[in-house]
Amino acid sequence: MNESDLLARIYARSAGLSRFAQVVAGPGHDCAVVDAGADGGGSRLLLKVDQVVMGRHVRPGTPVDLIGRKAVARAVSDIAAAGGRPLAALAGAVVPSAFDADGLFDAVFQWAAHWGCPLVGGDISGGSEMAVSIAVVGLPHATRGPVLRSGARPGDEVWVTGRLGGSYDAATGLGRHLTFEPRLAEAAWLCDALGEGLRAMMDLSDGLGRDAARLARASGVRVRVEAGTLPSHEGVDWRRAMRDGEDYELLFVVGAGASERWRRTAEAAGGRTPTGVPLTRIGRMEAGQGACVVEFDGRDEDASEWGWEHGE
């Protein structure tokens, strides 16, 4: 079973979670959201777990510091995608006997502290292949609250931070997928600037086409991306920008009612966040489902499956 089919089953099976008063948002978003107050009205928490598996997310021979960095950064990136800030982390790892376990946990410890989510516990086991899972607890934005994937509506604008594509060097296994910076500061700024006008958000890990389709599906709409607007890294064409994945940039949706004010804000900032990260409007939400891209000749092409699919 591929990842998309398995996720669909998980989402269907999880529909009944709404009977638990503490569950605000379950599977289908970058983070789960739970209410920690005993009376259902207390503090909300963001919960995320992610993993790095040898041979899947990193190659043998990858420096152990970069393995630990990526493991923590992937989970922290999802906290950013929910508009939050990390609070604490837990780690669990399967470590072969010949692997540098001490170096791995030192890297995880250091990078977790770097992003403000100290490593407070975990578990370790022996095994044949290295795998490390990181769980992060975070806090939503103080005024905006948690940003989910499900708030987009027809007419809303679709934006992205940074540039896309080319994060992985096929010859060496190295590249930006090991050194990306989770967009914590940028997400906080978006929440401050847009408030409820920030309708939906996620980070891009499996490719813009597939990930945009997931956001659109959660919101019950279709996303329409304009090929000519895509901000890509040097040497990357628009199709690779749609497909490559592991960019960990923010895909965010600005409500139609807030779009003019937001464009003025973005223009006044020189088209960049205060941290210098570019901001680009790449499309719009419309009635329908999935993700499509408008090519340079005006033709629409379905892009819902463009990107990385685990299990294929």
Q: Delimit the domains of the chain by residue range.
A: 3-139, 157-302
With cut-offs at 50, 70 and 90, classify the pLDDT of residue 41.
low
Q: Are strands 198-203 and 119-126 parallel, antiparallel or unpaired?
A: unpaired
Residue 177 has pLDDT above 70, yes or no: yes
Two tokens, residue 210: 């597939």
Q: How confident is the model at residue 184 (pLDDT cuts 50, 70, 90)?
A: very high
> Rounded mean pLDDT of the chain?
93
pLDDT band at residue 23 using 50, 70 and 90 as cut-offs = confident
Residues 279-288 have a mean pLDDT of 98
Pairing of strands 44-53, 32-35: antiparallel
Greatest alpha-carbon span in the chain? 58
pLDDT at 289: 94
User: Which range is least confidently modeled, 24-33, 117-126, 275-284?
Assistant: 24-33
Cut 0.85: pTM above it = yes
Q: In what order do the strands lie in the sheet with 250-254?
A: 198-203, 250-254, 157-161, 279-286, 222-226, 290-294, 300-302
CA dihedral 26, 10, 28, 167 (to 10 degrees): 130
Q: Does domain 157-302 have CATH number 3.40.50.720?
A: no
Q: Does 3-139 match 157-302 in CATH topology?
A: no
> What does the DSSP assignment read for 210-221?
HHHHHHHHHHTS
Asked which of 9-23, 49-63, 281-295 is least confident by mean pLDDT, the reply is: 9-23
Query: Mean per-residue pLDDT for 230-244?
Result: 96
Q: What is the mean pLDDT of residues 259-268?
A: 96
The band of 15, judged by pLDDT with boundaries at 50, 70 and 90, is confident
Report strand pairing: 85-95 vs 23-25: unpaired
pLDDT class of 69 with cuts at 50, 70, 90? very high
Give the CATH fold of the 3-139 domain.
60s Ribosomal Protein L30; Chain: A; (3.30.1330)
Which own/partner contact pairs does 292-301 have at CB distance under 8 Å and 24+ positions apart?
Answer: 292/222, 292/223, 292/224, 292/225, 293/209, 293/224, 293/225, 293/226, 293/227, 293/238, 293/242, 294/224, 294/225, 294/226, 294/227, 295/227, 296/227, 296/228, 300/224
* Predicted local confidence at residue 28, as pLDDT: 83
pLDDT at residue 39 greater than cutoff 60: no
